[in-house]
Structure 1
Amino acid sequence: MFHVKLPEAGTLDVPRETEARLRAYLALLQSWNARINLVAQAPEEQLWRRHILDSWQLLPLLPDGVLADLGSGGGLPGIVIAIGREQETHLVESDRRKSAFLIEASRALGLRHVTVHPARIEAARLPAIQVVTARALAPLKLLVPQAARFLAPDGIAVFPKGRSVDAELTEVAPHWFMQVERFQSRTDDQATILRLSEIRPAGA
């Protein structure tokens, strides 16, 4: 498996142009948030840490290859990841207003490697996916089978999780086999990032 070092809390060691692109995305998010509910209202620097840095810290955990972000909402973490890695990225979002935002954000930020799918996850048509992400979408008992639908045989899933992580792992264990790696979140001391590999139904 991978050996990675996550960025320290509150830091973002990136070129100036990349940070400018992330700030431009945050400005778009705030602008659209006045019309549709993408994220909870908060001061800009709080949004920066809670959403941008929280999503950015996933990048060192991701292998190369096609990525799908399920239930992408306002593009967290999908748009942030797409800014950090110029590889084929698919954003799946069933809410038409949110998918319209994703399309506009991808256009405005020049993310030509991003494809937005305005569809329910179960109806989305995707190529073989190397890595699936999802943030604040659903418990593992729902996320794992959704990810397994799209993942290539050697693909992985990366899911940020909160305090319920242990209960969710216990709940899904009788039904799915997977290798589980855990990483402490650098932006929330109550959160864990799960990296799941070798996902298959129990007994398969």
Structure 2
Amino acid sequence: MSGADMMGHAGVLDDVSRETRDRLTAYADLLVRWNARINLVSRPDLAQLWPRHIADSLQLAALIPQGARVVDMGSGGGFPGLVIAMATDAHVTLIESDQRKAAFLREASRVAGVRTRVIAARIEAAEAGPADIVTARALAPLPQLLQWGVRFLDKEGFCLFLKGKNADEELNAANADWRMAVTRIPSRTDADGIILRLSDIRRVTDHNHASSGR
């Protein structure tokens, strides 16, 4: 079964170029084949690959400035980082600690005809950045994402995190240690989902220190 024929494909690729459509279809075909050996997505989710995973990741493409440097944490099967690489001209670094998944990401990048950098290491040990944007999807609670991601960010950079219905709870938890500008962007693929755009990120201790120094 080709990626173009999978359940849920209809409508997902309506607003993308033919080149992006071809890349995503080749990627989906490869993922289906590899998923028989590596758990890239759960078996129940495989039938919803296009709307649940690809379309969800694809909506970030419109938020990526031209030529941006992107670091994607915990890339797994390529969501959202590899999808971003296929739909934009961003320079994308994919961080994935699982060696087999990292091998898939390299092969998928080759098959789709996009250049990415794949780092097969734990996020806290990865050497990446500076990035204009740090992304993640279904990886960890927001306080942990900030702990990992802030060190990759350029001074003027921002984070794009795909979150679900618990986004406000995670923001409240993060406010204990972080200050940031928050933009909430409703998800087009999940009624309970939201995209968090976080900028001007500072630890509370850093913020207090800077304030006392004025």
Whether TM exceeds 0.5 here: the answer is: yes
SS at match of 2:43: coil
Residue type of the alignment partner of 2:22 = A
Q: Relative contact order (C-alpha < 8 Å, sep 6+): which is higher?
A: 1
Match of 1:97 in 2: 100
Match of 1:5 in 2: none
- 1:10 is displaced (CA, Å) by 4.8
Is 1:107 aligned with 2:110?
A: yes
User: Deviations for 1:142-190, whole angstroms, at most 9, x for unmatched residues?
Assistant: 0012111110010000001011111100001020010000011101101
Distance in 2 (CA, whole Å) between partners of 1:44 and 1:146 is 29
- Which range is displaced more, 60-69 or 39-48? 39-48
Q: Percent identity?
A: 51
Distance in 2 (CA, whole Å) between partners of 1:44 and 1:151 is 33
Which of 119, 122, 126 pairs up with 2:121? Answer: 119
TM-score computed with the length of structure 2 as normaliser? 0.87
Match of 2:136 in 1: 134
Which of 74, 77, 81 pairs up with 1:74? Answer: 77
Listed as ranges, the matches of 1:1-204 within 5 Å are 10=12, 12-42=14-44, 46-64=48-66, 65-112=68-115, 114-204=116-206
4+ long deviations beyond 6 Å = none
- The count of residues paired between Structure 1 and Structure 2 equals 195
Instruction: Give the CA RMSD over aligned residues.
Output: 1.5
Unpaired runs of at least 5, structure 1 = 1-8
Distance in 1 (CA, whole Å) between partners of 2:22 and 2:13 is 15
Distance in 2 (CA, whole Å) between partners of 1:51 and 1:29 is 12
Distance in 2 (CA, whole Å) between partners of 1:49 and 1:185 is 12
Distance in 1 (CA, whole Å) between partners of 2:196 and 2:45 is 28
Distance in 2 (CA, whole Å) between partners of 1:195 and 1:62 is 11
TM-score computed with the length of structure 1 as normaliser? 0.91
Match of 1:3 in 2: none
SS at match of 1:134: strand
Match of 2:209 in 1: none
- 1:17 is displaced (CA, Å) by 2.6
**Cα pair 1:176 1:202 within 8 Å, conserved:** yes
Residue type of the alignment partner of 2:149 = A
Residue type of the alignment partner of 2:105 = L
| Structure number having the greater helix percentage | 2
Distance in 2 (CA, whole Å) between partners of 1:57 and 1:16 is 17
Distance in 2 (CA, whole Å) between partners of 1:70 and 1:43 is 21
Distance in 2 (CA, whole Å) between partners of 1:165 and 1:153 is 25
- Which range is displaced more, 97-106 or 35-44? 35-44
SS at match of 1:38: coil
Unpaired runs of at least 5, structure 2 = 1-10, 207-214
- 1:106 is displaced (CA, Å) by 0.9
